[in-house]
Structures are given as structure tokens and as C-alpha cells.
Amino acid sequence: MSGGTGMPIRVMVQDAWDQVDLEVPSSMTVNELKRKALGLTHIDEPAEDYAMKFRGAELFDEGQSLSQAGVVARASLIVVPRRRRPVR
């Protein structure tokens, strides 16, 4: 975002074991942020297969904005698979 209109946040994508630093508007939805983070880390699985967590708790209402979800500037979030996968 240009002009300082966004808030800086960090999203860790567990499957990619990578994190992305973003500057996003607080009006962005949780779902939009999750999809953006998955795309930037080259995860091709459906976004519905992943959950977004903030401060250890899942953000169940992904249609709400980041500000509605209580996400603040410089927050760290994590995208995790909804279901455990077998270890091979």
C-alpha cells in the first residue's frame, strides 16, 4: 500500500514454512488476507482447506474485516491446514 494507508502485518503459512510481511488495509477481510498469503507462498490448495489463526485462536468468521477480528498493526497471524495430514 502506498501513502501509509495500510497496517503492517506478518502472516506465517505453515505448509510453506514461509512468512510474508504485508501492508494491508484494516478493512481487508480475513478470507482475503488468507488467500493473499497462500498465493504469495505458492500454495495451490483451496483456501477453504486452511484456517487463519490470531493469538492462538482460529478466526472463524472469515468474512469480517481484520479490524473487526481485532487484528492490529504489526500483528502476526498463521495459516494452518484445517485437517491434520498423515506423516509419511
**48 pLDDT exceeds 90?**
yes
**Angle in degrees, CA 43, 67, 28, rounded to 5:** 45
The answer to whether residues 12 and 76 touch, using CB atoms and an 8 Å cutoff, is yes
Q: What is the mean pLDDT of the chain?
A: 92
Across residues 43-65, what is the average pLDDT? 96
Under the banding of pLDDT at 50, 70 and 90, the label for residue 5 is: confident
Q: Measure the CA–CA gap between 68 and 47, rounded to whole angstroms.
A: 21
Q: What is the pLDDT of residue 1?
A: 36
